[in-house]
Amino acid sequence: MRAVIQRVTRASCTVEGIVTGRIENGLLVFLGVEDADEMEDLQWLAQKIVNMRIFSDENGLMNKSMLDVDGNILLISQFTLFAQTKKGNRPGFVRAARPDKAIPLYEAMLSELESLTGKKIQAGIFGADMKIELLNDGPVTIFMDTKNKE
């Protein structure tokens, strides 16, 4: 499982002209699922997302988590995080999980994040043509891969 996590002042997702998710002050999380992913990967990543200290404290240092600042999350499915680009100019996506595996894990991530934060998690629509708008704060952008835990 891979995630690109961006600290944002605001972010929104629109599908066919309809806003499906919108947040202020929090994290925009792009999530990619691969065939090898399991619930253990999901739980590890969810804990990291909500507890990562990437928000500024009173001294301007990144010492607070999104839980500490009462932040929000916008979760977007992003199979292209598993793009393979070594050959040619067209990326391949053979490592990305097919919808029958990816959708349940994406929905489980929504539930896990809601459980950890006690908040409704805003989201895009899996597999849709989504338009994402954001104002990156910092900028702070973190890439995580659950296969690199150790």
Question: Going along 2-146, which residue ranges are E strands?
Answer: 2-15, 18-32, 55-56, 62-64, 72-77, 122-123, 130-145
Distance CA 89, CA 100 (A): 28
> How far is it, in rounded angstroms, from Cα 31 to Cα 15?
17
Known catalytic residue: 80?
yes
Q: Identify the burial level of 15 via C-beta atoms within 10 angstroms of its C-beta, where 0-12 means exposed, 13-18 middle and 19 or more buried.
A: middle
Read out DSSP for 107-118?
HHHHHHHHHHHS
Annotated catalytic residue, options 9, 14, 80, 146:
80
* Active site positions, annotated: 80
